[in-house]
Amino acid sequence: MQQSSELFFASSNEHKFEEVQRILSNLGVNIKLFKTTSEEIQSNSLNEIAKRKAIDAFTKIQKPIIIEDDGLFINSLNGFPGPYSSYAYDTIGNKGIIQLLPNSEHRDAKFVAIIAYYNGIDEVKLFESSIPGKISKEIEKGGWGYDPIFIPDGESKTYANVLDKDKFSHRSASLKKFSDWFMHKH
């Protein structure tokens, strides 16, 4: 089905927008960037954070909006950094995450992504996906965010160096769920 309305992606992260735009474009959904810094509440729930960010962004633009929130959950760290992934990245970075796991053989982790859609009328609609993997022992070159340290299951390289991250990333899986719903909604 043809998309009939304008749709914006709210983010201050241009890397994230480029990735989201590329993935959604391949799925037949066109988006525009609404560059903004959304209110990010402190919560143990990615769902709650995503809902609040979507509502906050909508109040600023008054047009249908999607936001993406994600988290890296490391099993041996009881899910840390989880919903605090942005803060952890900004403060200790990939080097700090690796230092939290010195010589650990328990490196299992998962990346969770949530796409939140809000049009100002209906309830915020959430689309969640997660990808299991592990934390690398070294930081690989390339990528952005946690890409240089997350190795998805079935791969030997991190997100930063796999051939086609879009085929199996947590963000891509959530965007696919969103686009399937969105294209049939219109």
- Domain membership of residue 2 (yes or no) is no
Token pair, residue 18, equals: 């480029």
- Domain membership of residue 171 (yes or no) is yes
131: confidence class by pLDDT, cuts 50, 70, 90: very high
Give me the pLDDT at residue 65, please.
96
Greatest CA separation found in the chain? 53
* pLDDT tens, residue by residue, 40-89: 678 889 999 999 999 999 999 999 999 999 999 999 999 999 999 989 99
Percent of the chain clearing pLDDT 70 (strictly above): 96
- Domain membership of residue 3 (yes or no) is no
- Domain membership of residue 157 (yes or no) is yes
Residue 96, CB-side half-sphere exposure with 13 Å CA sphere:
11
Are 152 and 133 within 8 A, CB to CB? yes
Token pair, residue 57, equals: 């962004």
* Position 2 pLDDT exceeds 60: no
14: confidence class by pLDDT, cuts 50, 70, 90: confident
Are 9 and 31 within 8 A, CB to CB? yes
Give me the pLDDT at residue 113, please.
95
Task: Summarize the confidence of residues 126-146 as an average pLDDT.
Answer: 94
* pLDDT tens, residue by residue, 23-45: 999 988 999 999 988 766 788 89
180 has catalytic annotation: no
What domain range is 123 assigned to? Answer: 8-185
Q: Which of 180, 150, 166 is nearest to 71 (CA)?
A: 150
Rounded Cα distance between 75 and 138, Å, is: 18
- Residue 67 CA to chain centroid, in angstroms? 9
Question: Of residues 69, 122, 147, 153, which has the active-site annotation?
Answer: 69
- Domain membership of residue 29 (yes or no) is yes
- CATH number of the domain at 77, please: 3.90.950.10
- Domain membership of residue 59 (yes or no) is yes
Rounded Cα distance between 88 and 79, Å, is: 12
* Position 184 pLDDT exceeds 90: no
Rounded Cα distance between 144 and 151, Å, is: 14
Are 52 and 10 within 8 A, CB to CB? no
Q: How many domains does the chain have?
A: 1
Rounded Cα distance between 166 and 61, Å, is: 28
